[in-house]
Every structure is written in C-alpha cells, then in structure tokens.
Amino acid sequence: MTPGVRLVVLGKQGAGKGTQCVRLSHYYSVPHISTGDMLRANVKTRTPLGLEAQARMDRGELLPDTLIMDMVRERLKERNVSSRGFILDGCPRTVVQAELLQDMLAPSSLDLVIDLEVPTELVLVRIASRRVCKDCQAIYSTSEPPVVKWICDVCGGMVQQRPDDTEEAVSRRLAAYEAETAPLIGWYEDRELLVRLDGVGTPDEVLERSIAAIEARRGTER
Ligand code: AMP
C-alpha cells in the first residue's frame, strides 16, 4: 500500500485545490481535511459554529484563527489522521494558523506544502463556472456538469453555485488571499517545505505533477 502523507495544499480560490486534494486523498488513502467543507457542514446543520461563521463566509472574509485551529486540532486527533496522515485544504490561511499547525504536529512536521500556481485571470473564469454539490461538496463546472443536470453524480444532492462565488465575495476572498495567505509561501519556503507547482492543465496532469513532487521529496522518484 502507498505510504500516507502529511500535506498542505495552498493556492488561490479556483486554483484547483479541492479537486486535487480529493484525488490525492484517494491516491494516498488519507483523509482530505477541508476547513471550508467543515464550516459549510456546520452552516448546513445550523450548529452554533455554523451560525457564527455563515455571514463572514458569505461575505468572503476569513474567520478567526483560533476558531479555525480549534476545529482543526479536534480533527487531527481522530485515529485515521494520526495513523496515516492528512491532506489539508484551505488551512493554514495565515501565518498565525501555520505556526499553530506546526505546534500541533510537533515533534513531527509536514512532509510537504504544495503551492498550486494559476494566474488570476484563469481562476476568475474557473470560479464563474464552478458548481458544487450542496450535500457532499463534489465539484463540477458549467462545462463539466453532472450526468443528470444539476443532480450530483456522487450523492444525488443538488449542484449549485456557492453563495460566496459571487463577484463581490470572490474579489474580497482574492484580496484576503494576497494579504493573509500569500505570505505563507515565503514562510514555508524558509522552512524548506514548499514546492511550487504549475496548476494549469487538466486535473490528471496536475495530479501527476503533485504526486511526482511528493515522491521526489521522499526520495522515491517515479
Ligand atoms: P474555502 O472553501 O476554503 O474557500 O473556504 C470558504 C470560506 O470559509 C472562506 O472564505 C472563509 O470565510 C472560511 N475559511 C475556510 N478556511 C479558513 C481558514 N483556514 N481561515 C479562515 N477562514 C477560513
């Protein structure tokens, strides 16, 4: 069996993080931990956390670091994570979150941080056409819809545009990315954990690049 991995995937909204993380989590048999998906599940079931998070998420604003990292800490304690690793999608998003994550993982660390690089013009096009299953978060696009129109192929849920994929929220999310998340690239580079990958291409092409980068890091080049 392929060994597990401890991976963070960075990239702007629409860079393809969600799509790649799902595929990588199947390849390495480790859980895909998306803080956005966890928050949306809380919004859907109207938990106190979801009620607190919803307005900020809809506006495209980041949530407080401690709230996010408390949620991640609980998730990392679960047995399937501690035994094989994880793929973190959408977290860390600030240097404070990255520091808290390092503390949580100590004395161990991440294997690698992948930065998926895609030009802003292209992410805007991708976000405008992105459609997501309301129930299981499977990702589609207007050019690659589900087989039966807007019914999810995976779970039968309704496929629709995300409430924060509006023009206004997207520009706020991209601004938050530049201000808060882009500095993480240098932060992880200083710690020799970062690899920059071209995120332009088909999902299969980008997956190949990602696996090659992870295996190169472990010294098991394919
Ligand atoms: P995503 O699906 O990763 O784009 O996340 C959707 C929204 O959830 C973001 O726009 C934020 O409002 C919130 N969010 C998700 N992850 C984080 C995080 N690590 N830090 C702060 N806010 C987050």
Q: Report the pLDDT value the prediction gives residue 80, as an integer from 0 to 100.
A: 76
Q: Could you tell me if residue 185 is inside a domain?
A: yes
The active-site residue, picked from 6, 23, 130, 209, is: 130
What radius of gyration do the chain's Cα atoms show?
Answer: 17
CA of 172 to the centre of ligand 1 (A): 12
At 221, is the pLDDT very low, low, confident or very high (cuts 50, 70, 90)? low
Strands of 130-133's sheet in order across? 139-141, 130-133, 159-160
Structure tokens at 48: 């106190």
The catalytic residue among 17, 23, 131, 209 is 17
Residue 53 inside a domain? The answer is yes
User: Is the pLDDT score of 42 beyond 90?
Assistant: yes
- 12, 114 contact by CB (below 8 A): no
For residue 63, the CA-to-ligand 1 centroid distance in Å is: 7
Pairing of strands 112-117, 194-198: parallel
Q: Stretch 153-172: mean pLDDT, rounded?
A: 93
Q: Whose CA is nearest to atom 4 of ligand 1?
A: 36
| Local confidence band at 222 (pLDDT 50, 70, 90 cut-offs) | low
Q: Does the annotation count 12 as an active-site position?
A: no
* Nearest alpha carbon to residue 168 among 117, 127, 129: 127
* Dist CA 43 CA 193 (whole Å): 33
pLDDT tier, 218 (very low <50, low <70, confident <90, very high otherwise): confident
Length of the chain: 222
Could you tell me the sign of the dihedral formed by the alpha carbons of 97, 107, 76, 193, in that order?
Answer: positive
User: What residues contact residue 92 under an 8 Å CB cut-off, 6+ apart?
Assistant: 8, 98, 100, 101, 184
Asked if 79 is an active-site residue, the reply is no
Among 217, 148, 152, 194, smallest CA distance to 9 is for 194
Q: Which residue has the tokens 């805007």?
A: 124
Measured from the Cα of 164, ligand 1's closest atom is 10
Which one of 8, 20, 93, 101 would you pick to mutate in the ligand 1 pocket, going by the greatest count of ligand atoms within 8 A of its CB?
93
Q: Give Cβ neighbours of residue 70 (< 8 Å, ≥ 6 apart).
A: none
User: CATH number for the domain including 200?
Assistant: 3.40.50.300
User: Is residue 23 one of the residues assigned to a domain?
Assistant: yes
Phi, psi (deg, nearest 5) at residue 22 = -60, -45
Query: What is residue 83's predicted lDDT score, i.e. its pLDDT?
Result: 79
Q: Is residue 1 part of a domain?
A: no
For ligand 1, residues with CB inside 6 Å are: 13, 35-36, 39, 56-57, 60-63, 68, 90-91, 93, 97, 164, 173
pLDDT confidence tier of residue 50, bands split at 50, 70 and 90: very high
Mean pLDDT of 131-136: 93
For 212, the domain range is: 6-217
Number of domains in the chain: 1
Residue 107: cis peptide before it, omega within 30 degrees of 0: yes
Confidence category of residue 219, pLDDT binned at 50, 70, 90: confident
Residue 222 located in a structural domain: no
Q: Ligand 1 centre from 61 Cα, in Å?
A: 8
Q: Is 211:222 a contact under the CB 8 Å cutoff?
A: yes
Tens digit of each residue's pLDDT (9 = 90 or more) over 53-66: 999 999 999 999 99
Report, as an integer, the average pLDDT of 145-161: 96
Is 3 a residue whose pLDDT tops 90? no
Q: Is the pLDDT of residue 31 over 80?
A: yes
Annotation says 44 is catalytic? no
- Could you tell me if residue 61 is inside a domain? yes
In a domain, 161, yes or no: yes
Task: Render pLDDT for 178-195 as a digit per residue (tens, 0 to 9).
Answer: 999 999 999 999 999 999
Phi/psi zone of residue 188: left (φ > 0), alpha (ψ -120 to 50 degrees), beta?
alpha
Residue 198 reports pLDDT greater than 80: yes
- pLDDT at position 2 is 82
Q: 130 an active-site residue?
A: yes
Amino acid sitting at position 92: P
Residue 47, domain member (yes or no): yes
Q: Catalytic pick from 162, 196, 209, 222? A: 162
- The answer to whether residue 17 is catalytic is yes
pTM for this entry: 0.91
Interval 117-125 mean pLDDT: 94
Q: Please return the burial class of 124, using the count of CB atoms within 10 Å of its CB with bins 0-12, 13-18 and 19+.
A: middle
- Sorting pLDDT into bands at 50, 70 and 90, what band is 213? very high
Please report the pLDDT score of residue 79 as a whole number. 76
How confident is residue 176, by pLDDT bands cut at 50, 70 and 90?
A: very high
C-alpha 35 to ligand 1 mean position (Å): 6
